[in-house]
Amino acid sequence: MIGSFFTTRFNYILGWARKYSLFHYPYITACCGMEYMSTAASHFDWDRFGTGWTRFSPRQSDMLVVCGTISHKLAPVLRTVYDQMTEPKWVMAFGTCTVSGGIYDNYAVVQGIDRIIPVDIYIPGCPPRPETVLDGLIKLQEKIQKQEQEWRWKKRK
């Protein structure tokens, strides 16, 4: 059409594109992995939210889904996985053991992964219901949409 135009901010368009194209990396260590699989399966299908492709390489993913108990022995590995992810990156803490150590209040278990890596969304429950996981995913998408998007290319030295 002649004379019609569309105005918006590039930041809004980029946020919209990022929130519907999350490539997630599952870091599953315990029983919450079953709930993760049921959320990704056909009945709940988090593919309709734009997170369908599971990436098993941190260099190809921008969302880290941490499910289960994290011991102090696994903590450096989790930090390495987080450091290898692409920017921008987001973290979802999935389940009570990941969020706060759960029932394991002892010397071997990290009492919350926010002591190792920054967390964007906390999903409570032991194990969390798939509906709760989808609600957390929607909240993460809202956060991605509203944040300032960094899109300028940086020159390499």
Q: What would the pLDDT profile of 33-81 be if each residue is shown by its tens digit?
A: 888 888 887 778 887 787 877 888 888 888 999 998 999 999 999 999 9
DSSP state of 140: H
Domain assignment present for residue 50? The answer is: yes
Model confidence at 4, pLDDT cuts 50, 70, 90, reads: low
Q: What is the pLDDT of residue 152?
A: 62
Domain assignment present for residue 97? The answer is: yes
CATH number for the domain spanning 97: value is 3.40.50.12280
- The mean of the pLDDT values for the chain is 84
**113: pLDDT strictly greater than 60:** yes
On whether the CB atoms of residues 94 and 119 are closer than 8 A, the answer is: no
Domain total in the chain: 1
Range of the domain at 98: 22-141
Domain assignment present for residue 68? The answer is: yes
pTM: 0.83
